[in-house]
């Protein structure tokens, strides 16, 4: 007789099994004491950990809603952090650019740097997963784009 796998036990106690699986598990449990104990243990474990993670002392101080005005005042510092990140990457790229193109740069040379996110900033993605783009324009108006994945 095949016993119930751990992941199926978990799904069963969370009510995430399909009807056919549910029927098979119930049938199996009526004949298998070992699995009945495993289900019982897993149920207690899940309930105990859920309870532990929701004890008031974990929640107490954090549930107070911070007034909205305070949130708005933080907006500048968030934008500042994003630009520090972009400029740090830009600095590295400029350094590489200067090293590799050193022989072509005269005293009158100038460059324009346009850093940004390739597809705009997306709060639903980690910053590290978002592609950066740095556009470098030289004194002849020639533009080069550097992607930073």
In terms of Cα–Cα distance, which of 131, 111, 129 is closest to 120? 131
Number of H helices, E strands in the chain: 5, 3
Contact by Cβ (8 Å): 43, 22: no
- Residues lying near another protein in the complex (CB under 8 A): 6-11, 14, 16, 42, 44-46, 48-50, 52-55, 57-59, 61-66, 68, 71-72, 74-75, 78, 121, 123-129
Nearest approach, Cβ of residue 42 and another protein (Å)? 7
Nearest approach, Cβ of residue 112 and another protein (Å)? 26
Using the minimum distance from each CB to another protein, give the nearer residue, 1 or 52. 52
Query: How big is the chain by its Cα radius of gyration, in Å?
Result: 29
Nearest approach, Cβ of residue 88 and another protein (Å)? 14
């Amino acid at each position: 007789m095949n016993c119930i796998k751990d992941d199926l036990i978990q799904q069963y106690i969370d009510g995430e099994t399909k009807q056919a699986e549910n029927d098979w598990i119930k049938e199996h449990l009526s004949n298998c004491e070992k699995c009945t104990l495993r289900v019982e243990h897993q149920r207690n474990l899940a309930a105990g950990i859920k309870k532990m993670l929701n004890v008031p002392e974990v929640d107490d101080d954090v549930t107070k809603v911070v007034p909205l005005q305070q949130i708005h005042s933080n907006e500048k510092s968030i934008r500042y952090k994003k630009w520090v990140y972009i400029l740090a990457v830009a600095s590295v790229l400029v350094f590489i650019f200067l090293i590799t193109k050193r022989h072509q740069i005269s005293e009158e040379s100038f460059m324009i740097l346009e850093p940004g996110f390739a597809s705009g900033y997306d709060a639903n993605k980690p910053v590290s997963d978002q592609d950066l783009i740095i556009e470098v324009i030289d004194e002849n108006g020639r533009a080069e784009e550097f992607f930073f994945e």
